[in-house]
Chain A
């Protein structure tokens, strides 16, 4: 056999005496066990009740019980002087259950046929928070703040405290842990109230590399100290600031440290008090700044963009060469260059150089040659002139053919009409003539 699950409690319902609205029978003993979900209580409202009236509802009666406690015993008719009629007002149950017992004796009055009762019931929310504290010494439902909800309740804690696992009592909170947002606010437990004794709280501010943390103590700063000639000594209460690779620093006294630039992306704060003395506490805002990369400097024959006064982590810069120059990196020409400021305060690529371009050797000229008029090594803006091997060849057209190395790395004629120089042979002009002087 398998036990059937309990039926889901209803949120509302109706209950009537047997045969209602017909007169009920004698010798009845009927019972209804009503229930609604936990966290609710039942309210029952009688729409009609007509039960033989008697003193103390001795003969016929409808009895309402909650955990064997009688909430009421009803009989009679509405507005009648006899009996005990519930009226039309809702009757609440202390909990989510209600038992109705309808009991009749062995005879009914002949003149009036009583029809019994008809009632509606519904679940209503219980305000657990307003309930009195239990007498068993277990304490209040919530140690600090009780929030009533429909069908239930929640406990909450005041600022500086956190809810314990029992979900009802509160414990002092350090508010510690890891703070990885780029800005934030920290404070001592219970701040601005003095914390209880023997506090040991740890706060770690850790943001991603490339950012540095700056602490700014605001408002009250009061940590018990012993003043010495060298300054406050922190023998019992202290706030210790630890930055990686540096000596920890203990802070105490009544004077705020103000702003502390850590130059680190990680800072650990340990707040310690012993079980004596008094420290009112502290609070701080922290902010972060991106690390700075060195100024890229001026590029020879090129420029860096964008031009900023300072360059920070994740900033990009681009390098462009002036016209007639090309980007060179590790002996190789590159089409474009950009570099990013890294978290280690260095550019992820070293800056390239701008080298002057060259047009390579000019096209050779058959039966001629080329001479440099200006520039050298075929560099940008070099000017060359073509010539033919005279006197045996001459340039077609007979005009000077001058080419300039342009920014597109091509030799371009100064005169756009010329496509390419050509040497044509010189005819009929021997280098030696036959002379006859004898007459």
Chain B
């Protein structure tokens, strides 16, 4: 998280830390046996990782203090249309992990709500993104062991698309924005999600409840002026999420 703050205990109890062969990723609790994350966190070189390599940590804000024993995955369900073998296609960047054991919820572990069907993403609405990914201290990017968060507004598809188009002129291999994605961030930069936050939650609050609006997916650099973070638009996947959980 760039430009954010350390998360107090119990403030984002649905945040999950995923560890896969030393690589960090994020996730969010959506049920007592289900974790939602980005597909690219559990797919490497076009192949899903084995469930045994995934370690799931919940209920912590400081990896050093309360890491504890990981929860194990019993199955991994990647969206069937996710196809990102060349790392430039983040469309359908969503996956579900089923845990071997159910979790009892408490102040430290709580599920985030799923969006209602047809939920709207209002431009400028402030969302909350969090993770254990790269942060920035004294202009140096470092990996933090503490959960960080930052409030970022929703950006219109047009604004985001324009920024990506602009970047594509100077860079190769820039992924494309699709209707299954949305952007959040500030044009002046300095606040953003970053590497290691992938799969983590971007939540919007409505009627006193946080709901999972997005999944940290991709972006050009982190916190750079004129760039925005790109998130999987969860509202587009409610049917698939419910179907997957019911069938498993």
Residues of B within 8 A of A431 (CB): 10, 13, 107
Q: Is B105 engaged at the interface, CB distance under 8 Å to the other chain?
A: yes
Give per-residue flags for A392-436: 1 if the beta carbon is below 8 A from chain B beta carbons, else 0: 110000000000000000000000000000000111111111101
Residue pair A427, B113 in contact (C-beta under 8 Å): yes
Separation of A429 and B107 alpha carbons in the complex (Å): 9
Residue pair A433, B11 in contact (C-beta under 8 Å): yes
Give per-residue flags for B2-31: 1 if the beta carbon is below 8 A from chain A beta carbons, else 0: 000101111111100000000000000011
Residue pair A425, B105 in contact (C-beta under 8 Å): yes
Residues of A within 8 A of B203 (CB): 428
Separation of A429 and B12 alpha carbons in the complex (Å): 9
CB distance from B98 to the nearest CB of A (A): 16
Residues of A within 8 A of B31 (CB): 425
Knowing A431-B10, A432-B8, the reply to whether A425 touches B149 (Cβ < 8 A) is no
Residue pair A429, B210 in contact (C-beta under 8 Å): yes
Q: Is A367 engaged at the interface, CB distance under 8 Å to the other chain?
A: yes
Residues of A within 8 A of B13 (CB): 430-431
Residues of B within 8 A of A427 (CB): 14, 30, 110-114, 209-211
Residues of A within 8 A of B62 (CB): none
Knowing A429-B110, A434-B128, the reply to whether A392 touches B9 (Cβ < 8 A) is no
Residue pair B32, A425 in contact (C-beta under 8 Å): yes
Separation of A252 and B30 alpha carbons in the complex (Å): 109
Residues of B within 8 A of A433 (CB): 11
Q: Is B64 engaged at the interface, CB distance under 8 Å to the other chain?
A: no
Residues of A within 8 A of B205 (CB): 428
Q: Is B208 engaged at the interface, CB distance under 8 Å to the other chain?
A: yes
Residue pair B10, A430 in contact (C-beta under 8 Å): yes
Separation of A434 and B205 alpha carbons in the complex (Å): 12
Residue pair A434, B149 in contact (C-beta under 8 Å): yes
CB distance from B52 to the nearest CB of A (A): 27
Number of interface residues of A (CB under 8 A): 14
Residues of A within 8 A of B113 (CB): 427-428
Give per-residue flags for B105-120: 1 if the beta carbon is below 8 A from chain A beta carbons, else 0: 1110011111000000
Residues of B within 8 A of A426 (CB): 105, 110
Separation of A434 and B130 alpha carbons in the complex (Å): 12
User: Which residue on chain B has the smallest CB distance to residue A393?
Assistant: B105
Residue pair B211, A428 in contact (C-beta under 8 Å): yes
The A368-394 residues at the B interface (CB cut-off 8 A) are 392-393
Residues of B within 8 A of A367 (CB): 104-105
Separation of A151 and B214 alpha carbons in the complex (Å): 130
CB distance from A351 to the nearest CB of B (A): 52
Separation of A428 and B28 alpha carbons in the complex (Å): 11
Residue pair B105, A392 in contact (C-beta under 8 Å): yes
Residues of A within 8 A of B128 (CB): 434
Residues of A within 8 A of B7 (CB): 434
Query: Which of A392, A430, A432 is the one whose CB lies under 8 Å from B210?
Result: A430
Residue pair A430, B208 in contact (C-beta under 8 Å): no
Query: Which of A392, A429, A434 is the one whose CB lies under 8 Å from B106?
Result: A392
Separation of A124 and B46 alpha carbons in the complex (Å): 136
CB distance from A117 to the nearest CB of B (A): 131
Separation of A45 and B14 alpha carbons in the complex (Å): 140
Separation of A429 and B5 alpha carbons in the complex (Å): 20
Query: Which of B32, B106, B107, B209 is the one whose CB lies under 8 Å from A428?
Result: B209
Residues of B within 8 A of A434 (CB): 5, 7-8, 11-12, 128, 149
Which of A428, A429, A430, A431 has most B Cβ within 10 Å? A428
Residue pair B11, A432 in contact (C-beta under 8 Å): yes
Residues of B within 8 A of A428 (CB): 14, 110-113, 203, 205, 209-211
User: Which residue on chain B has the smallest CB distance to residue A434?
Assistant: B11
Separation of A275 and B17 alpha carbons in the complex (Å): 128
Known A-B contacts: A426-B105, A431-B10, A432-B10. Give 15 more (CB < 8 A): A367-B104, A425-B31, A426-B110, A427-B111, A427-B114, A427-B209, A428-B111, A428-B209, A429-B209, A430-B11, A430-B12, A430-B107, A430-B210, A432-B8, A432-B9
Q: Which residues of A contact B (CB under 8 A)?
A: 367, 392-393, 425-434, 436
What are 23 inter-chain pairs, A to B, with CB distance below 8 A? A367-B105, A392-B105, A425-B32, A425-B105, A427-B111, A427-B210, A427-B211, A428-B14, A428-B110, A428-B205, A428-B209, A428-B211, A429-B110, A430-B10, A430-B12, A430-B107, A431-B10, A431-B13, A431-B107, A432-B8, A434-B7, A434-B8, A434-B11
9 closest A-B pairs by CB? A428-B209, A428-B113, A427-B113, A428-B210, A392-B105, A432-B10, A431-B107, A427-B111, A432-B11
